Amino acid sequence: MRPVGNLLEGLDIGDLKRESLLKLSRQKHIREFLDMNHLRENILDEYWVEFLDYHDDVMTCQNCQSLNQCPKENPGLEKVLKFYDNKVIVELEACQFGQVLKERKELLKRFVIKNVHDDILEKDFVSLDLCRSTPLSNYNEITLTYLLQYLKSPNHIGLFLHGDSGVGKTTILASLMYELTKRGHEVGFVHFPTYLLDLKASFGSGENQGFLDKVMNVEYLVLDAIGEENATAWSRDEILLTILSYRQINKLPTFFTSLYGYKELKQVYTIKKGDEIRANTLLTKMKALSKELIVESLTKQG
């Protein structure tokens, strides 16, 4: 291998720089920066490294279509030229895709309590298959109508979506909550079976009351997978009934997803003989808090 010094033999660094400066001066994004700041071309010579750095970054980004394609070490950031105090500097800012990512992160902060992955929550309502598919079954058409009405005029009566596993109940309510965060509301999205496990694990740590308080007081709440938990007298009466009673009294909108309808849930929460009254009480609270709607699989529709 030849020494680096030998590789440079016969090359005039000054000529290389002049050629580079000439190419830079012809770039539209460089010209626009010079014109905007009323700068002469000779400033390219003084800040050659900064302009080169900026230009290389522009070339890297020019054909980018999404963050998934970004080859950078810090996806979503682009280099921009700034002129401060008679100096040219290079700064990092969020690109168009990075700005969307930044906005989404800010919206996710409004999910003040959650125990599901962010990918589930970052769903735009208009992108739902339920919104784009035609024709819809009668049940799904009714469900979509109620969802649109709720977005138009939110109120303290939530929705109770039930249907088979995999039909999109969780995604539908996640997208509804995401839309509400865009309007500045704070929401909670709780997979109820997991929440109960976390609540039990917090006993003795002093955190269990905080877990319960957040769920009771959040402005909008989704209780996901109701009825799929290991129902006990404790989970039914001390946890779920407490949450529902508090939210009903305070008119806090509450939403549910379940594999079961109201009638089937009565059986789920009738744990032993003589529990019918407690199960009825629970179902009465749910009915007072929400409107029951059925979600069907889109693949079944013709």
Q: Side chain identity at 10, as an amino acid letter?
A: G
Residue 27 has pLDDT above 60, yes or no: yes
Element (H, E) at 119: helix 118-121
Using a pLDDT cut of 90, give the percent of the chain over it: 62
By CB neighbour count within 10 A (0-12 exposed, 13-18 middle, 19+ buried), where does 202 fall? middle
Residues 177 and 210 in one domain: yes
Residues 294 and 257 in one domain: yes
Helix spans in 12-73 (H): 13-25, 28-36, 43-46, 48-61
Range of the domain at 88: 4-98
Residues 129 and 220 in one domain: yes
Element (H, E) at 191: strand 187-191
59 belongs to a structural domain:
yes
Q: Side chain identity at 145, as an amino acid letter?
A: T
By CB neighbour count within 10 A (0-12 exposed, 13-18 middle, 19+ buried), where does 140 fall? buried
Average pLDDT of the chain, as a whole number: 88
Residue 246 has pLDDT above 90, yes or no: yes
By CB neighbour count within 10 A (0-12 exposed, 13-18 middle, 19+ buried), where does 237 fall? middle
CA–CA separation, 98 vs 67, rounded Å? 7
Residues 191 and 288 in one domain: yes
pLDDT computed for residue 211 by the predictor: 78
Residue 18 has pLDDT above 90, yes or no: no
pLDDT computed for residue 2 by the predictor: 43
66 belongs to a structural domain:
yes
Residues 147 and 87 in one domain: no
Residues 136 and 23 in one domain: no
145 belongs to a structural domain:
yes
pLDDT computed for residue 13 by the predictor: 62
Among 98, 133, 151, the domain boundary falls at 98
What are the pLDDT digits (tens) for 222-238? Answer: 999 999 999 999 999 99
Residue 149 has pLDDT above 50, yes or no: yes
CA–CA separation, 189 vs 102, rounded Å? 21
**N-term to C-term CA, the chain:** 70
pLDDT computed for residue 60 by the predictor: 87
CA–CA separation, 272 vs 233, rounded Å? 9
pLDDT computed for residue 134 by the predictor: 78
Among 65, 98, 131, the domain boundary falls at 98
Residues 21 and 168 in one domain: no
Residues 137 and 81 in one domain: no
Question: Model confidence at 135, in pLDDT bands (50, 70, 90)?
Answer: confident
261 belongs to a structural domain:
yes
pLDDT computed for residue 144 by the predictor: 93
pLDDT computed for residue 66 by the predictor: 79
119 belongs to a structural domain:
yes
Domain count for the chain, please give it: 2
Residues 191 and 283 in one domain: yes
Residues 19 and 128 in one domain: no
Residue 178 has pLDDT above 90, yes or no: yes
Among 79, 98, 117, the domain boundary falls at 98
267 belongs to a structural domain:
yes
pLDDT computed for residue 207 by the predictor: 60
Read off the pLDDT of each residue in 94-104 and give the average, rounded to a whole number: 76
* Prediction pTM value: 0.73
Question: Model confidence at 288, in pLDDT bands (50, 70, 90)?
Answer: very high
Residues 215 and 66 in one domain: no
25 belongs to a structural domain:
yes
